Structure 1
Amino acid sequence: MHTGIAQLPLHTGGVPRWLFQRMALLSREIVTAIVLEHGREELLSRLSDPFWFQAFGCVLGFDWHSSGLTTTVCGALKVGLEERGPEIGVFVAGGKGRASRRTPEEIEAFGERYGLGREVERLVYASRMSAKVDNTALQDGYQLYHHTFIFTSSGEWAVVQQGMNPDTGWARRYHWLGRDVRNFVREPHSAVCCDHRGKALNMVADESEDARRASALLSREDPEKLVRELKRIKKLELPSRHELLGSDIDPESIRKVLLRTYEEGPEDFEELLGIRGVGPKTVRALALLSELIYGSTPSFRDPAK
């Protein structure tokens, strides 16, 4: 489940190389001490706490309260554990930008090298779904650009990922702790820490349960029928209370995706979200249709507190 979200200002520039090298060495020793004294599960629990993570970055020497703390600390941790990680059973995959997209391949490589067996498929799924939830099911205005997946030789995992909102100049950090995940798409946040809140399409909120069910149901409908309905909506003058507007959606642009969901026939919203190609526009379209056809109103509550 989500264990927290941190809100950080976007700053330009990079950390000095000499500082990054020291951060990597110090993070290695701190992590090793935690694992030896308290175990790997406790390490993941601490990394999934946004306050502890922020303090960890300051202790390592990155004492700026900016978005760079997330990427730098995760990068230092990844470098620091390249050799020590296998000894203590802790691995770090992913990173910023292109590195984030290589996360599944890195997990698979670790799994093959260190004999993680059946756990690999589950870990890859957790990595992909946690990113999909924060980028697609929760549409809060922050586009993910960083995804780090920390996992152990026994299959435990945690996620630290970050999105940016260039319009506001702020970044938002999301923390996940695998041991508490019961359902990827229902109320995953247990704590959200930030000063900036706004409206968000929150399809993982508890009050979006009906909208999730309706969206999954609609995704199994004939795509041509759905496209016709969306085109009709674009001609309507919707009441001001609606947070989703027909003008936000281009029916033609999601026709191919709806055809894919129709062919795969997802049983529930989590399966729908896991289909390749299902992105924010598709989720918005299905959420709008869910409200107008079934009266299933999604939540627009920003999970940040």
Structure 2
Amino acid sequence: MTKRSGSADLPLHYGRVPPWLGERMARLGSVICEAIIQQYGRDELLRRLAHPFWFQSFGAIMGMDWHSSGITTSVIGALKRGLKPLASELGLHVCGGRGNHSRRTPAELDEIGAKVGFDGKALARASRLVAKVDSAAVQDGFDLYLHGFFVTDDGHWTVVQQGMNGDGGLARRYHWHSEGLGSFVEAPHAAIEGRNAGSIVNLTDARADRAREAQVAMLRDQGPDRIVRELAALQPARPISDQNKPQLVLPHLVMPAHHDVRPEDVVTRRLHGALAAAADRGPQDFSELLLVPGIGARTVRSLAMVAEVLHGAPCRFSDPARFSLANGGKDRQPFAVPTKVYDQTIAVLRSAVDRAKIGQGDRLAAIARLDSESRRLERSTTGPTLIEYVAEERRRSAEYGGRSVFGWEESETAHVESVSAARRRV
């Protein structure tokens, strides 16, 4: 039986991903998925997508707002675009999305099933049940607005869907995984993310079995009018003791409301390990690449963090903010997206994956060594503080092609000149 793996607070953010970032997210997201499938298989990718901490870190490394609800929408959209041309090759399909796209999921599954041979109608039913459980059986104050369905050619699947509580300014993300799923109505979630917003009616809890049976019997034998009368007669509920709470206490990731990345949001020793591994392994393993114009130490630092997304154990993703230090954020937090570094990171990964397809796995192996070296070095290495790291990134942002929703970053010289020109006009 699958279990919930944790929960997290997700501040509700609005807005759109700019096209220049959305296109890059589709390319980076799809090549990371290809690399995971090559090295670990499709089922492992489904397990990663069903892990809420990994999913948040995955979105952060792609340049999205590291703490927000927008990661869910943007990651599913990017993967749907990026993986669609590779669906027949990888045997992986992404259905659904936000709003009207979510309602087309059953039809998409039916259509794909007819092409590849799985039971599309059964999976369409699964899609509807998953949405119904999280909208009706789990009444937690969050209205579903997004439903993403990842399915392989052999019919294994992961669902990531999200609801919003507009009054509270929060979102809750629900993760489902078909592996070991025995029931849609009894403890089925792989994970639920979101802040506790008050009392929750969870009819999927194993302890609610008698309640589910009683509701069906009451509706069948006595009709809806009797149910209305019973509800009207109910007295205010008494406080529930700790041992009888309807929700199990689970580990959870608290995503703060503040947008800036602060020292308490990052496990510094892991950051130092990645920086040290890039400095140590980079010149050895990427000697050819470092001779290519535009690829330097900064790109290898980004690759060291990507390597952890590819190979890291679940416990490594407790601080999603750290992964925003690879490629920044679209809202200039922690710094503007370094587009030149981003593009070179994609190019290195693309080259590594393509070489591995023809039996030359040297570059994928080099990326794997970055991850193992990071874990080894973090035990003893030191490095800049988070504040120093971010300050240096911002200082060199124009050099790296820094871009955000506010525009391109200016160099210090250009900024001084523009300020001087403005003063002269005054």
Scaled by the length of structure 1, the TM-score of the pair is 0.74
Which residue does 1:239 correspond to in 2?
Answer: 235
Aligned to 1:76, the other structure's residue is in SS state: helix
8 Å contact from structure 1 (residues 146, 163) kept in 2: yes
1:82-121 paired onto structure 2 within 5 Å: 82-113=84-115, 115-117=116-118, 119-121=119-121
Whether the 8 Å CA contact 1:201–1:300 is kept in 2: the answer is yes
Matched, 1:39 2:35: no
CA contact (8 A) 2:26 2:79 kept: yes
Q: Contact conserved, 2:218 with 2:227, CA < 8 A, in 1?
A: no
Instruction: Give the counterpart letter for 1:183 in structure 2.
Output: S
- Counterpart for residue 267 of structure 1: none
Query: What does residue 301 of structure 1 align with?
Result: 247
Instruction: Note the C-alpha offset of 1:195.
Output: 4.2
Residue of structure 1 equivalent to 2:23: 21
Show the counterpart of 2:79.
Answer: 77
Q: In the superposition, relative to structure 1, how do residues 242 and 25 fare at CA in structure 2: closer, same or farther (>3 Å)?
A: same
Residue 288 of structure 1 is matched in structure 2 by: none
* Unaligned segments of structure 1, at least 5 residues: 244-297
Is 1:207 the counterpart of 2:207? The answer is yes
Residue 180 of structure 2 corresponds to which residue in structure 1? 180
Moved more, 188-197 or 168-177: 188-197
AA in 2 matched with 1:301: Q
- What CA distance in whole angstroms lies between the structure 1 residues aligned with 2:16 and 2:66? 11
1:62 Cα offset (Å): 1.2
Match of 2:126 in 1: 126
Residue 139 of structure 2 contacts residue 202 of structure 2 at CA under 8 Å; is this kept in 1? yes
Counterpart residue number, 1:57: 59
Where 1:221 maps in the other structure, the secondary structure is helix
Give CA-to-partner distance per residue, 1:140-160, whole Å, 9 cap, x none.
000100000000001100000
- Which residue does 2:419 correspond to in 1? none
Deviations 1:143-180 (A, max 9, x none): 10000000000110000000000110000001011112
Secondary structure at 2:221 match in 1: coil
Equivalent residue letter for 2:201: L
- CA shift, 1:121, in A, is 2.2
| Equivalent of residue 230 in structure 1, options 201, 225, 228 | 228
Q: Secondary structure at the match of 2:228?
A: helix
Amino acid at match of 2:176: W
Cα RMSD over matched residues?
A: 2.2
Please tell me the residue identity of whatever aligns with 1:154: D
TM-score where L is the length of structure 2: 0.54
Count of residues in correspondence between the two structures: 245
Give the alignment of 1:218-297 within 5 angstroms: 218-223=218-223, 226-228=224-226, 230-231=228-229, 233-234=231-232, 236=233, 238-241=234-237
Q: Distance in 2 between matches of 1:128 and 1:41?
A: 22
1:6–1:159 CA distance, 2 compared to 1 (3 A): farther
Letter matched to residue 14 of structure 1: R
Q: Following TM superposition, by how much is the alpha carbon of 1:303 offset from its aligned partner in structure 2, in angstroms? A: 7.0
| Distance in 2 of aligned mates of 1:144 and 1:29 | 29
Per the alignment, do residues 132 and 37 of structure 1 end up closer, same or farther by CA in structure 2, a change over 3 Å counting?
Answer: same
Partner residue, 1:167: 167
Check the 8 A contact 1:94/1:149 in 2, yes or no: yes
In structure 2, C-alpha distance between the alignment counterparts of 1:177 and 1:151, rounded to whole Å: 10
Aligned partners of 2:148 and 2:3: how far apart in 1?
14
**Residues 192 and 303 in structure 1, CA contact (< 8 A), matched pair in contact too:** no
Task: Tell me which structure has the larger Cα radius of gyration.
Answer: 2
Q: Distance in 2 between matches of 1:189 and 1:232?
A: 31
Alignment partner, residue 280 of structure 2: none
Q: 3-state DSSP class of the match of 1:204?
A: coil
Measured against aligned partners, the alpha-carbon deviations of 1:233-279 in whole angstroms (never above 9, x if no partner) come to: 52x3x332269xxxxxxxxxxxxxxxxxxxxxxxxxxxxxxxxxxxx
Q: How does 1:2-21 map to 2 (within 5 A)?
A: 3-4=4-5, 5-21=7-23
From the superposition, tell whether residues 42 and 189 of structure 1 become closer, same or farther in structure 2 (CA, over 3 Å): same
Aligned counterparts of 2:49 and 2:136: Cα–Cα separation in 1: 24
Cα distance in structure 2, aligned partners of 1:174 and 1:193: 6
Q: Structure 2 regions of 5+ residues with no counterpart?
A: 253-426
The alpha-carbon deviation at position 7 of structure 1 amounts to 2.9
Counterpart AA for 1:20:
G
Other-structure match for 2:324: none
Amino acid at match of 2:101: A
The change in CA–CA distance for 1:179 and 1:229 in structure 2 (over 3 A counts) is closer
The 1:133–1:302 alpha-carbon spacing in structure 2 relative to 1, beyond 3 Å, is farther
